[in-house]
Amino acid sequence: MRNRIIYGIIKTYKGIFKKKHIGNVQILIIEKNESFSVYNVVGEMKDNEIVSQLVLKAPSEYTNIFIDEFEENQHFIQMEELYCSVTKEKDKFKVILKKKGKYINSNLIFSFSKEYSEGNMKVYLIEGKMTPLIKEQISNRVQLKMSAIKKKAMSRPIISKFISSIKR
């Protein structure tokens, strides 16, 4: 199995009969060995660190199902897919790219942040160069928490639908 990182956008809608677009959530999907993880990109700190939130971890056999199901329903737009290797050290892991991409411009280091994480909200700080399509500056802990909650709420229906589809 080849490890890969996928940068994409989840388009969220509201309404039963008439769908109204309510926003986009940028995500990073990291497929490593026997699992894959989905991270919401929350925003960027003043020191150029990118803040992300872990929203899903599942067996890697479901990665393509996750992507295909939501591309089909036009809820997910895959912007970039790059092959990489993933190494883990204590509370961080490093994504080493085989080649640079248009949006992911360098190797990325994901560090678990005990300072910003609380309860079931697992926050990771990303070091490295990315060119996200949607930029949101985060200046303090309260703003980070509010933004993370908002992005998780926007992506929750899609993540929940995926989880229920693999439990069948």
For the chain, the structural domain boundaries read: 4-167
pLDDT-based confidence at 28, cuts 50/70/90? very high
Structure tokens at 43: 């925003």
**Bridge partners (DSSP) listed for residue 130:** 104
More confident site: 130 or 2: 130
- Per-position b or e across 5-41, b if 16+ CB within 10 A of its CB: bbbbbbbbbeeeeeeeeeebbbbbbbbbeeebbbbbb
User: Which residues lie closer than 8 Å to 24 by C-beta, 6 or more apart?
Assistant: 9, 10, 11, 12, 134
CA atoms of 111 and 101, how far apart (whole Å): 21
Q: Which residue has the higher pLDDT, 131 or 72?
A: 131
Cβ–Cβ < 8 Å for 154, 12: yes
Predicted confidence at residue 54, as pLDDT, reads: 92
| pTM for this predicted structure | 0.87
Amino acid present at 79: M
CB 25 within 8 A of CB 13: no
The reported pLDDT for the residue numbered 163 is 77
Tokens of 110: 């994901």
Per-residue pLDDT, 168: 61
Band of pLDDT at residue 1, cut at 50, 70 and 90: low
User: What three-state secondary structure class fits 156?
Assistant: helix
